């Protein structure tokens, strides 16, 4: 009888311990999810046009083009929100390109900027663009490639912003300002873990 009583007590203690352990695990998971949620942002790349409209509103124009057997559909959207990100700049076009009904790249064109020779694009501007699109600050800034165009003042750059996203742009003129388009697109080389420290702004 004593042995049975001890066994019952031991089982009760184990049940209490298991409940405590499960509660602790659940609490840890909830805290972890709560900590991640502000940085989770929103999914844009590989999403449908219907999902994108929930983020940026109804599309303005739709252009379909087929090259080398690949059909690309480009939607343009209102740039009004981006004007708050880049004040004093006239944005010519805010567009997202889709293949097989999935977003592949985000494009910003400022060829019609009110100050075409003064818009600089580096880490700060790329971070603000990324945050507007995805809803959180990019985790890194790492040079992927820089290419000389043949003109001594014009270079094209590709930088990792992290979480699988890179940005591409061209810098030129004596003032080294942005020339034309900026894009954000998926790049597997920009997936974590990140191997090297951030690179200074060009």
> pLDDT tens digits, residue range 114-140?
555 567 788 999 999 999 999 999 999
Rounded Cα distance, 63 and 93, in Å: 13
Domain chopping of the chain, boundaries: 49-189
> pLDDT tens digits, residue range 2-52?
434 344 445 555 555 555 544 443 333 333 333 333 445 789 999 999 999
Closest listed residue to residue 39, CA positions, set 132, 114, 106, 134: 134
Does pLDDT of 171 surpass 50? Answer: yes
> pLDDT tens digits, residue range 75-88?
999 999 998 888 87
Which pTM value belongs to this model? 0.73
Helix (H, G, I), strand (E, B) or coil at 31: helix
């Amino acid at each position: 009888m004593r042995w049975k009583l001890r066994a019952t007590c031991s089982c009760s203690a184990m049940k209490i311990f298991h409940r405590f352990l499960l509660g602790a695990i659940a609490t840890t998971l909830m805290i972890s999810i709560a900590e991640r949620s502000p940085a989770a942002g929103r999914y844009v790349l590989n999403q449908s046009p219907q999902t994108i409209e929930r983020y940026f509103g109804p599309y303005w124009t739709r252009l379909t083009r087929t090259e080398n057997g690949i059909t690309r559909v480009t939607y343009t959207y209102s740039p009004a929100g981006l004007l708050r990100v880049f004040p004093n700049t006239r944005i010519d076009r805010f567009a997202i390109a889709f293949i097989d009904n999935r977003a592949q790249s985000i494009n910003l064109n400022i060829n019609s900027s009110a100050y075409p020779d003064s818009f600089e694009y580096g880490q700060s501007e790329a971070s603000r663009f990324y945050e507007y699109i995805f809803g959180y600050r990019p985790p890194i800034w790492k040079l992927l490639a820089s290419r000389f165009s043949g003109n001594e003042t014009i270079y094209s750059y590709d930088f990792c912003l992290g979480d699988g996203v890179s940005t591409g742009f061209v810098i030129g003129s004596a003032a080294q300002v942005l020339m034309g388009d900026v894009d954000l697109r998926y790049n597997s080389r920009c997936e974590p873990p990140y191997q090297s420290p951030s690179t200074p702004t060009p």
